[in-house]
């Protein structure tokens, strides 16, 4: 440091000290006056509330069970689609088949693994590319907790649209926010708009968030890449449900576009 710069800084010290001193309370009374009163502290504290984690952990019990919430939008769409039965495909259905929930349909499952539940008609294939399955083969295609585990969900959506018959319905329940759970790999999280964008050829009948289990503790031990935090686990659980309908007349067909252009 040069002598000139040093002398300049030393000359500024008294002024800086005086400025700091001028900002400090000069008396104990001034110091007390600068602090919040007990009444002010109580007023602010009244806006706070204690959280019972045991209570918020059980709030989901006031809602229907998860599987019912996942499947309800699908069943509710049948009336709008005038769907009463037919052939059904569950993607990833080897361990938790949903055929009992849809007795009016002829049930089939598709899975990557040949290790399947005995007695099930399982197609061993990759939903991102399964040309061996004929187009327009199914009236209903569903999945629960599958899309987050598909490496290329846009390819899966294209195949689902191809496999779905005109007038058919496809429904999927996946995750917007959930703990990391590789089984075998955890790839994605979705919004309702994301799911709609994956199926541009379908008419969306339902696409909504499901917050029923939002504050439920989904992992009470440190594992699977989600270490415990101050809340004792993972407490931001939001699902997404989507249902799409395949029009008899494709959405981009000239006939449909001409009809849409006619004033009503």
* Residues 6 or more apart whose Cβ sits within 8 Å of residue 253: none
**Backbone dihedral angles phi then psi of residue 108, each to the nearest 5 degrees:** -135, 155
Does the pLDDT of residue 233 top 90, yes or no? no
Structural domains of the chain ordered from first start: 64-261 (3.40.50.150)
User: Residue 89 in contact with residue 121, Cβ under 8 Å?
Assistant: no
Least trusted range by pLDDT, from 81-90, 119-128, 198-207, 249-258: 249-258
How far is the C-alpha of 121 from the C-alpha of 141, rounded, in Å?
A: 15
Cα separation, 246 vs 199, in Å, equals 10
What pLDDT sits at residue 4?
72
Q: Give the per-residue pLDDT at 221.
A: 54
- Digit-coded pLDDT (tens) for 89-124: 999 977 767 989 999 999 999 998 877 777 777 899
Share of the chain above pLDDT 90, in %: 52
Mean pLDDT (the chain) is 84
- Phi, psi for 260 (deg, rounded to 5): -70, -25
The pTM score is 0.74
Q: Do β-strands 105-111 and 122-124 pair in parallel, antiparallel, or remain unpaired? A: parallel
Question: Given pLDDT bands bounded at 50, 70 and 90, which one contains residue 7?
Answer: confident
Average pLDDT, stretch 245-261? Answer: 67
Least confident of 42-46, 57-61, 208-212, 247-251: 42-46
Whether the per-residue pLDDT at 253 is higher than 60: the answer is yes
pLDDT at residue 125 in the model: 95
**The pLDDT value given to residue 191:** 98
Classify strands 238-245 and 164-177 as parallel, antiparallel or unpaired.
antiparallel
Distances (CA, A) of 12 to 4, 15, 37, 148, 241: 13, 6, 38, 63, 67
Residue 72, classed as helix, strand or coil, is helix
pLDDT(19) > 80 = no
Nearest CA among 85, 199, 70, 89 for reference residue 137: 89
pLDDT band at 15 (very low <50, low <70, confident <90, very high): confident
Asked if the model's pLDDT at residue 135 lies above 60, the reply is yes
For the cut 60, the answer to whether the pLDDT of residue 258 exceeds it is: no
């Amino acid at each position: 440091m040069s002598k000139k710069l040093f002398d300049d800084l030393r000359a500024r010290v008294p002024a800086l000290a005086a400025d700091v001193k001028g900002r400090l309370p000069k008396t104990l009374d001034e110091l007390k006056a600068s602090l919040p009163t007990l009444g002010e502290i109580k007023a602010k504290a009244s806006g706070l509330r204690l959280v019972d984690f045991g209570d918020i952990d059980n709030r989901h019990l006031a809602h229907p069970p998860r599987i019912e919430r996942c499947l309800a939008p699908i069943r509710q769409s049948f009336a709008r689609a005038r769907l009463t039965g037919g052939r059904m495909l569950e993607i990833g259905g080897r361990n938790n088949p949903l055929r009992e929930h849809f007795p009016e349909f002829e049930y089939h499952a598709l899975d990557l693994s040949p290790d399947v539940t005995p007695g099930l008609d399982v197609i061993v294939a990759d939903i991102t590319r399964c040309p061996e399955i004929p187009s327009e083969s199914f009236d209903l295609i569903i999945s629960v907790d599958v899309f987050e585990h598909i490496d290329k969900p846009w390819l899966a959506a294209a195949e689902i649209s191809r496999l779905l018959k005109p007038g058919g319905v496809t429904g999927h329940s996946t995750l917007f926010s959930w703990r990391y759970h590789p089984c075998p790999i955890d790839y994605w999280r979705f919004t309702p708009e994301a799911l709609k964008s994956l199926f541009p050829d379908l008419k969306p009948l339902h696409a909504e968030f499901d917050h029923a289990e939002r504050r439920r503790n989904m992992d009470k031990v440190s594992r699977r890449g989600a270490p415990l935090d101050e809340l004792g686990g993972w407490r931001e659980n939001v699902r997404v449900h989507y249902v799409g309908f395949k029009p008899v007349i494709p959405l981009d067909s000239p006939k449909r576009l001409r009809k849409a252009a006619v004033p009503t």
